[in-house]
Amino acid sequence: MHSLSWTTRVISRALRSGFSTLLETASNATANVNSASKQRPHFVSVVCGFPKDFLTSKYKPGKYGEDSWFKTSTTNADVLGVADGVGGWRNYGIDPGEFSSFLMKTCERLVHCVNFNPQRPVNLLAYSYCELLEQKKPILGSSTACVLVLNRENSTVYTANIGDSGFMVVRQGEIIHKSEEQQHYFNTPFQLSLPPPGHGHNVLSDSPDSADTLSFSVKEGDVILVATDGVFDNVPERLLLDVLKECEGVTDPVKLQMTANSLALMARSLSFDSEFMSPFAINARRNNINATGGKPDDITVVLATVAM
């Protein structure tokens, strides 16, 4: 609506003072837009993923099984996030996907609030965790989460990560930043949780403050992968790097989507390969657990490149 009012105003002014003004204003306007966007980077981002039981699960936007994701942007920030609901709650009659999905949806809404601070993504996690307590319906369960914010003002990415979801940044064929996996012990990541009443004392619950935070500046062409453990547990880092460096500087969302699709499919097929020495199996062996093959899990891939 606003652009309409703007154009109308411009056109009416132009009609009053000759058409040449219109041309001038218009060209000025486009020049302004160009110069403004030159200094301000943004994400070209795509999403792909699979729920663990692909055949039985119903498609819901923003969800792959118990995984959830969101991507959104405001005038001065682009935000990506993934969360992985902890599956153990199913035994208590709790849908583990609901917790992660609520967390991500609330993060997305909080980004559009007036007091959103792009430099503090951990606040997003903290506030959306608090928001759980404001719901009439008890939303119980627990989840890992990873949120990544591109602050356009200073081309810097700020991240917050709890648990074993994570991100990876690739520039000129090398991984320049990577999230640390936070675990209490093997296969038990840090997690935000809200246990049912009466179970409070024997449930692992980490406060949003325990999130790993990181900030780094990005350049045009950088590739950023944000994914849940379904990807990192099944695809070896070397393989990830090989795929990611192919799409450095790609700004065509269709091409990027194809890469994301192949990454997700790669993770999916490796997770069901019982012979493959997956990163998960290697980790298990380090912890004296004899395991081979991938780890079937929900898979979420959020892939982004930095464009100016």
Residues that bind another protein (CB under 8 A): 1, 4-5, 8, 106, 109-110, 112-113, 127, 130-131, 133-138, 196-198, 200
Q: Shortest distance, CB of residue 94 to another protein, whole angstroms?
A: 10
Tell how far CA 94 is from the center of its chain: 24
Which run of H or E residues covers position 222? none
Closer residue to another protein, CB minimum distance, 73 or 155: 73
Q: Residues, the chain, total?
A: 308
Q: Shortest distance, CB of residue 124 to another protein, whole angstroms?
A: 12
Closer residue to another protein, CB minimum distance, 10 or 175: 10
Q: Residues 6 or more apart from 291 whose CB is under 8 A from it?
A: 280, 281, 284, 285
Q: Shortest distance, CB of residue 106 to another protein, whole angstroms?
A: 7
The pairing of beta strand 212-217 with beta strand 188-189: unpaired
Closer residue to another protein, CB minimum distance, 149 or 235: 149
The residue whose two tokens read 């390969």 is 273
CA separation for the pair 273, 239 (Å, rounded): 16
Tell how far CA 177 is from the center of its chain: 15
Q: Shortest distance, CB of residue 7 to another protein, whole angstroms?
A: 11
Q: Shortest distance, CB of residue 21 to another protein, whole angstroms?
A: 18
Closer residue to another protein, CB minimum distance, 7 or 28: 7
Q: Is the CB of residue 137 less than 8 Å from the CB of residue 167?
A: no
Q: Is the CB of residue 222 less than 8 Å from the CB of residue 251?
A: no
Closer residue to another protein, CB minimum distance, 13 or 285: 13
Q: Shortest distance, CB of residue 245 to another protein, whole angstroms?
A: 40
> How far, CA to CA in Å, does 288 sit from each of 111, 190, 230, 282, 283?
43, 21, 21, 10, 9
Q: Shortest distance, CB of residue 166 to another protein, whole angstroms?
A: 27
Which run of H or E residues covers position 230? helix 229-232
Q: Is the CB of residue 54 less than 8 Å from the CB of residue 272?
A: no
> How far, CA to CA in Å, does 191 sit from each of 36, 56, 242, 280?
40, 27, 30, 19
What type of residue is 110? L
Closer residue to another protein, CB minimum distance, 83 or 140: 140
Q: Shortest distance, CB of residue 165 to another protein, whole angstroms?
A: 23
Closer residue to another protein, CB minimum distance, 135 or 287: 135
Closer residue to another protein, CB minimum distance, 104 or 224: 104
Give bridge partners of residue 44 from the DSSP assignment: 305
